[in-house]
Chains A and B, each alone.
Chain A
Amino acid sequence: MMRANIILYVALILVACGLVTSQHEARSQHSERERLQAVAAEYEAEYGQLQIEQGTWATHARVEEVATTQLKMEVPIPKQIQVIVLDKVGQ
């Protein structure tokens, strides 16, 4: 009888310690998850900002401006265009 009590007592202590540890573990993991979620949300917000930024940089008016002024590009006139008809190429 006495021995059973001692065993149960030791078991109780162990379980109690386990409970405390696992609770602590759960909480620290949870706070880690919270932190990571916040980081993810931040990345998502940044991604959105970058998408908007890209959209702004890629505005056609700007692309055209860069192409014509900085790169000195122009649309070829019809005379400069050679049209290749595909089914004739094969023959």
Chain B
Amino acid sequence: MNHQLSAHQQQRVTGFPVWRRRVLLMGLLICFMALVGKSIYLQSTKKEFLQKQGGNRHIRTLSLQAGRGNITDRNGVILAGSSPVVSVWANPSLVKIDTKKRLALTKLLKIKTSTLNKRLGNKTRKFVYIKRRLSPSLGSEVKALKITGVHLEREYKRFYPAGNMVSHVVGFTGIDGNGQEGVELVRNAELTGKVGQRRIIKDRAGHIIEELEVMSEPRDGQELVLSIDRRIQYLVFRELSRSVAKYKAKAGSAVVLDAKTGEVLAMVNLPTYNPNNPVNSRGKTRNRTLTDVFEPGSTMKPITVAAALEFGGYSPTTKVKTAPGYMAIGSATIQDTHNYDELTVAEVVKRSSNVGSAKIALSLDKKKLWNVFNEIGFGEKTDIQFPGEVSGKVRDYKTWRPIEQATMSYGHGISVTLLQLARAYTVFANDGELKPVSLTKLDQAPIGKSVFSAKAANNVKDMLELVVQAGGTGVRAQVAGYRVGGKTGTAHKLGPKGYEKDKYIGTFVGLAPVSNPRLIMAVMIDEPTTGQYYGGTVAAPVFSSVMSEVLRLLAVPQDAPNINAVRPVESLADEQEAV
């Protein structure tokens, strides 16, 4: 069947002239050749350009920034916040910079030419920071210089608007953005955000033209609301600074607790430091209210007395003989500043009689007394969870000698932190219930544990009020318009060779208002050097001036006429304090 057809025959079969088919074939061939030619041309001469273009269209993985959470006080005022800053970095091997731009850059960044040369000289590294954390506006000026190989990186810097006022509580972050101290350190995991990642297609100009997938969503760090009230914090800071300066003390600390919830409303330490620029802050970053222990001195007496009322068969009116003003136990002697002859239990607290308190303590069961000290939170860390917190020390009752049992009753031979001491006084504000302390804001008052019966606790609360009234050791703690109560304390500091002869710690722990306690404040003045060192002189006035403003600030109804406070003569208060 296969036979050659002539052109004429083909034309007859298809109905088209034969040249038409040939022209079509030729046309297709030319088109094909053109395509091949073009591709050879692109491959050979335009290869570099095209590969670069392709590269610009690369699929990339971008990380999505997540911010660090703010730290605010209980009313939402920012104590720590993050703000964007830019860092200038370079790839030394790719940097192309002329002398003029070099000069402009050093001027902008305020660095020495030698420093810049040194940083850019290290060609083995691919990433060198030239300067970190500049303001965004300065960053755009650097960008405007258009130096090849020099880039900007967006970072966040932590700012602390309250400065040195709350630095011991909030702490600060290091250059990598992680917490170094305080709440920034303990709650670092919550505060830190999670960086997200996504794959994108970018065009030549660097615009993102298509998002392929979100591999992980970025998550900002959580905001942390502290229990601190910045207004109270400021007042405490101001008054404590005054007292520390006035008595030329080495250090000072104060804690204010919400009496009902155990929330820490203020926590101040001196000396302090600036968290925005924590240089030369060595020894100042310690939150002394938690990390330093001291002997509480007479501020311990209300606890001993409460124990005596609870299980020692005492009542506030039980008579205790303190004559002749001193008492020998073994080779040691306990002394009062005066011979008070016979005092009631309430007066032992009011006059701060060591002999009276020792006599009461010696009549109590060792184990039960030790139990009270433990239950009230001495010798164990609080629930505050803070870096560097210490537990203090209460020795086992089995090792107590009589002299130790006696001195411990007025706060010697036992060591506590100021926070523990403040927390212990929550029992007198809550019918004998000890409240846990918290540094974060609470929605409702936590349930504490009962240490004393309501009767014993309230009896002692009334005694605390006597302390600040005429004839007591804490008259200078009085507040106009409010009934307040508290206890003074003065203790020799412990040195390497036992008690230091002329180094003291003056303390005052008080609550207000007595009719329905809202606040508890503990103040400690460490090593006052002006000759006055009694807690009633150096610490009680801090309580008074802070409370008079804070009670007004919190709109606590007055429970006394506003002319109740009688400012005492200085010498009287000093004289009546027992060491």
Contact = CB atoms under 8 A, between A and B. Distances in A.
Interface of A: 26-27, 30-31, 34, 45, 48-49, 51-52, 54-56, 58-61, 75, 78-79, 81, 83
In this complex, the interface size class of chain B, counting residues with CB under 8 Å from chain A, is: 20 to 34
A75 B508 CA distance: 25
Interface of B: 67, 70, 77-79, 81-84, 159, 161-163, 207-211, 230-231, 234-235, 238, 480-481, 549, 558, 561-563, 565
A59 B161 CA distance: 8
Nearest to A77: B480
B83 A30 contact: no
Contacts of B231: 60
Given A45-B84, A78-B563, A52 B210 contact: no
Contacts of A83: 481, 558, 561-562
A78 B481 contact: yes
Contact of A48 (B81, B209, B230, B558): B81
B480 A78 contact: yes
A83 B480 CA distance: 12
A interface, by DSSP: helix, strand, loop or mixed?
Answer: helix
A26 B210 contact: yes
A54 B70 CA distance: 14
A30 B202 CA distance: 11
Contacts of A30: 208-211
B77 A58 contact: yes
Contact of B562 (A49, A56, A58, A78): A78
A59 B83 contact: no
Given A78-B562, A81-B562, A56 B211 contact: no
Contacts of B84: 45, 48
When A and B form their complex, which 3 residue pairs have the shortest distance between CB atoms, in order from nearest?
Answer: A55-B161, A60-B234, A78-B480
A47 B164 CA distance: 23
30 contacts: A26-B210, A27-B209, A30-B208, A30-B210, A31-B207, A31-B208, A34-B207, A34-B208, A45-B83, A48-B70, A48-B83, A51-B78, A52-B81, A52-B83, A52-B159, A54-B78, A55-B78, A55-B79, A55-B81, A56-B161, A59-B162, A60-B230, A61-B234, A61-B238, A78-B481, A78-B562, A78-B563, A81-B562, A83-B561, A83-B562
B552 to A, nearest CB: 9
A71 B235 CA distance: 20
Contacts of B159: 52
A50 to B, nearest CB: 10
Contacts of B163: 59
B208 A52 contact: no
Contacts of B480: 78
A46 B178 CA distance: 22
A76 B533 CA distance: 31
B78 A52 contact: yes
A49 B83 contact: yes
A85 to B, nearest CB: 9
Contact of B161 (A27, A52, A75, A81): A52
A79 B82 CA distance: 47
A26 B161 CA distance: 44
Which of B209, B235, B563 counts the most chain A CB atoms within 10 A? B209
A75 B83 CA distance: 37
Contacts of B67: 48
A34 B563 CA distance: 66
Given A27-B209, A52-B83, A79 B563 contact: yes
A59 to B, nearest CB: 7
Contacts of B82: 48
A51 B210 contact: no
A56 B165 CA distance: 12
A20 to B, nearest CB: 14
A54 B72 CA distance: 13
A69 to B, nearest CB: 16
Nearest to B561: A83
A19 B169 CA distance: 60
